[in-house]
Copies of this chain bind each other. A is one copy, B any other.
Amino acid sequence: ELGTSRIQLALASNVALSVIAYVMTRRLIPHFMPMFTKANLFGVDLNKVNPDKSPSTTKVPESLGTITAAVYLVIMFLFIPFYFTPFLLEFDDQKKRFPHGQLEEFICGLLSICCMIFLGFADDVLNLRWRHKMIIPTVGSLPLLMVYFVNGGSTRVIMPLQLRDVVGVHVDLGILYYVYMGMLAVFCTNAINILAGINGIEAGQSLVIALSICVHNGIEIWHDSADHQAHELSLFLMMPFVAVTSALLSFNLWPAKCFVGDTFCYFAGMTFAVSGILGHFSKTMFLFFIPQVINFIFSVPQLFKFVHCPRHRLPRLNKETGLLENSLAVIPADQYRGIGRLFIDVFALFGFISFKKSEKEIVVSNFTFINLVIRILGPTHEHNLAMWILAFQVLCSCLAFYVRYQLVLFFFDGHHDHEEVFHPK
């Protein structure tokens, strides 16, 4: 019974702190916006025009995700005693049962997130190179991996039923498991960072993913899964994130009063990775990233330079209609060969990209998910485009829940036996 009142206190304080976080973020963002502009942290919104239809030159403060992230950190620090102190009372006569493993995971998670915020802000200020974008999340996930190791965390994964005859029920991945966890952080941060470019899309998709994680944790806690406490931690990491991200989104929706910056993408991605690792559902986590995965796969030909990649790939504003249209990449005829040509031909065949061939050059629409959506919807207003993409993200999360709770029975014994199990000592 003490267990119930403990979780009630934690839930109540987490909700209350989330509300405070929302209010603080709403107030602090406008307060800090002029300071960001003054510090040279601003951008010009390429898809806005002045009343006379000339390109907008308004300086939109950039990188306001920094404020969001700072508020989140402070709120999470304050949450620590609310969650962990009751354990002291609960097990008063046998203090060794204090959940040290969990406290360590939790602080480490915050350390990874904090490290990521710092490095993300450094990226925004210093404009780091592409290779740094891979190094940074790896560094950020180091504390989590180190403490997982020190705590003797399990590196065994459970095999699908179909493979058990061949490789056994468990396979110990050893060091590969650490590589997997590190890559999860790289994946989450960059997945959000590349599905970007229109108002509200970075914060919006993060909000949908965060809410999906909350629902997933809620279901598991409700059904009193064996891994109860892990899901609690994950939920309590996510609710304040939902709060601060909602506040940020309210300023970032069309017409954006501020941009979120790389800081926010790093912060969001790492918070998801930590939430998945601490909640022991990192594989389910991938299911909430379906649009991001589609975007990544679709972007591969341009990201890896098989097809010419212009500096900006975000959709282009038609000044007459005020609607967004596909942005185009122009490929000289002599570069239309090899693997690049294969990609272009296949994608054009399926209608994923527009395709116009002349003697001198090939003109195709850019290989991004946003351009793909415009191909389907036709010219669309920036706000509606963001909403359609977010609606698709919601749809994908519904699909994810179906896969997670129904399809999984085909491969595994029960709903839960496929998730990694962490054994803190």
Residues on A close to B: CB < 8 A? 32, 35-36, 38-41, 66, 70, 73-74, 77-78, 80-81, 84-85, 88, 95-96, 98, 100-101, 103-104, 107-108, 110-111, 114-115, 117-119, 121-122, 125-128, 139, 142-143, 146-147, 149-150, 152, 425
Partner pick for A142 among B74, B103, B104, B139, CB 8 A cutoff = B74
Is there an interface contact between A110 and B143, defined as CB atoms closer than 8 Å?
yes
Q: List 18 A-B contacts (CB under 8 A).
A: A35-B127, A39-B40, A39-B127, A41-B125, A70-B119, A73-B115, A74-B142, A77-B143, A80-B146, A81-B146, A88-B152, A100-B103, A103-B104, A104-B104, A107-B107, A111-B114, A114-B118, A118-B118
Look across to chain B and name the residue whose beta carbon is closest to the beta carbon of A88. B152
Contact A143 B98 (CB under 8 A): no
Q: A107-B111, A149-B81 are in contact. Are A39 and B74 (CB under 8 A)?
A: no
Whether A80 contacts B143 in the complex (CB less than 8 A), given A85-B150, A107-B111, A149-B85, comes out as yes
The smallest C-beta distance from A103 to any residue of chain B, in angstroms, reads: 6
Contacts of A126 in B (CB 8 A): 32, 35-36, 38-39
CB < 8 Å neighbour of A110 from B81, B111, B127, B149: B111
A111 to chain B: which residues have CB within 8 Å?
A: 107, 110-111, 114
In the assembled complex, the CB of A89 is this many whole angstroms from the nearest CB of chain B, namely 11
Complex alpha-carbon distance, A85 and B153, angstroms? 12
Contacts of A117 in B (CB 8 A): 118
Across the two chains, which residue of chain B brings its CB closest to A95? B425
A150 and B81 contacting across the interface, CB-CB below 8 Å = yes
Give the nearest-CB partner of A66 in chain B.
B122
A149 proximity list for chain B (CB < 8 A): 81, 85
State whether A77 touches B125 (Cβ < 8 A). no
Decide: A425 near B98, CB < 8 A? Known: A39-B126, A103-B147: yes
Per the bound structure, the CA–CA distance linking A119 and B146 in Å amounts to 24
What is the CB-to-nearest-CB distance from A142 to chain B, in angstroms, rounded to a whole number? 4
Separation of A41 and B143 alpha carbons in the complex (Å): 29
Given contacts A74-B142, A104-B104, A107-B147, list 4 more A-B pairs with CB under 8 A. Answer: A80-B143, A85-B150, A111-B111, A118-B121
Complex alpha-carbon distance, A257 and B181, angstroms: 40
What 4 A-B pairs come out closest when comparing CB atoms? A100-B100, A118-B118, A77-B142, A80-B146
In the bound assembly, the distance between CA atoms of A244 and B108 in angstroms comes to 23
Interface centre among A35, A36, A78, A125 (most CB of B within 10 A): A125
- Cα A15 to Cα B107 in complex, Å, equals 26
Nearest-CB distance from A151 to chain B (Å)? Answer: 8
A36 to B80, CA, bound (A): 36
The smallest beta-carbon distance between A9 and chain B, in angstroms, is: 14
Shortest CB-to-CB span from A277 to chain B, Å, is 15
Chain B residue contacts of A96, Cβ below 8 A: 96
| A41–B127 alpha-carbon span in the complex (Å) | 13
Q: A261 CB to closest chain B CB, in angstroms?
A: 12
Cβ–Cβ contact B84 & A150, under 8 A: yes
B143 A107 Cβ-Cβ under 8 A = yes
Question: Is A78 touching B147 in the complex (CB atoms < 8 A)?
Answer: no
Inside 8 A of A146's CB, which chain B residues have their CB?
77-78, 80-81
Determine which residue in A36, A38, A122, A128 has the highest number of CB atoms from chain B within 10 A of its CB, and name it: A122
Rounded to whole angstroms, the CA-CA distance of A14 and B73 in the bound complex is 29
Closest B residue to A425 by beta carbon equals B95
Q: Are A122 and B119 in contact (CB under 8 A)?
A: no
Contacts of A147 in B (CB 8 A): 80, 103, 107
Residue of B nearest to A101 (CB): B100
Q: Report the Cα distance A81→B117, complex, angstroms.
A: 24
A107–B78 alpha-carbon span in the complex (Å)? 16
Smallest CB–CB gap between A102 and chain B, Å? 11
* Residues in chain B near residue A115, CB distance under 8 A: 73, 114
